Amino acid sequence: MKKVLVIATFNPHKLLEIRAILPAQLALKALSDFPGSVPAEEDGATLEENAAKKALAAARFTGLWALADDTGLEVDALGGGPGIRSARYAGESSSSADNTAKLLLALEGLPSEKRLARFACVMALASPSGDLLTCRGVLEGRITGGGRGAEGFGYDPVFEVAGGCRTLAEFSEREKNSVSHRAQALKGLLPELLRLFPAARPAS
């Protein structure tokens, strides 16, 4: 039987993105596939703390190795905010549209050079016994004055990637998964994942 890696998320967009980035041979299950599972409370002070908490909780609950992430949008003009509050920027039950609208309002009237931002992602890999490994990925860019593009999710339509003129929502799935903050963090953990799950090693 294949060893299974649990992806500790209830966000279907994140799950699809992680599946697309990791080797296809790796057997993955979402935490939501396990009856009785619930999201861990994200009350850490940093992305690292939240990612670690989610991964460790999922690993202990399932008895399997678990992978979790925490991602934040850091805007210079907002002092690094919304940061760890990115998913709840407009309130605890806010939608992506609510969060984006609040962000654009907060930056209204600022010129392009004052709208610098970055996506930061921390991936945490945990075992049921408490072993833990984390890796951070960062994607630099700026916040646009309005949304562009129909791909991606969250703040992607208003995040223009540095060095170009397209938002993440204007990237194809393949393009995004080659440069994104989440892809960078996952690639940092890939050597350990391939050691733990040798059957997932890509064919040469």
* Burial state string for 126-141 with b = 16 or more CB within 10 A and e = fewer than 16: bbeeeeebbbebebeb
Q: Is 175 exposed, middle or buried (0-12, 13-18, 19+ CB in 10 A)?
A: middle
Q: What is the pLDDT along the chain (204 residues), one digit of tens a residue?
A: 568 999 998 888 888 889 999 988 889 999 999 999 999 988 999 999 999 999 999 999 999 999 999 999 999 999 999 999 999 999 988 999 999 999 999 999 999 999 999 999 999 999 999 999 999 999 999 999 999 999 988 999 999 999 999 999 999 999 999 999 999 999 999 999 999 988 666 554
pTM: 0.91
- Output the CA–CA distances (angstroms, integers) from residue 128 to 31, 40, 58, 78, 171, in the order listed: 14, 15, 8, 38, 37
Domain ranges of the chain: 4-200
Look at residues 52, 193, 30 and name the one whose alpha carbon lies nearest to residue 130.
52
Residues labelled catalytic: 70
- State the pairing for strand pair 66-75/116-126: antiparallel
The pLDDT of residue 204 is 47
Q: Which residues contact 114 (CB under 8 A, 6 or more apart)?
A: 76, 77, 107
Give the torsion through C-alpha atoms of 187, 189, 195, 198, to 10 deg.
Answer: -50
Q: Domain 4-200: which CATH class?
A: alpha beta
The pLDDT of residue 6 is 97
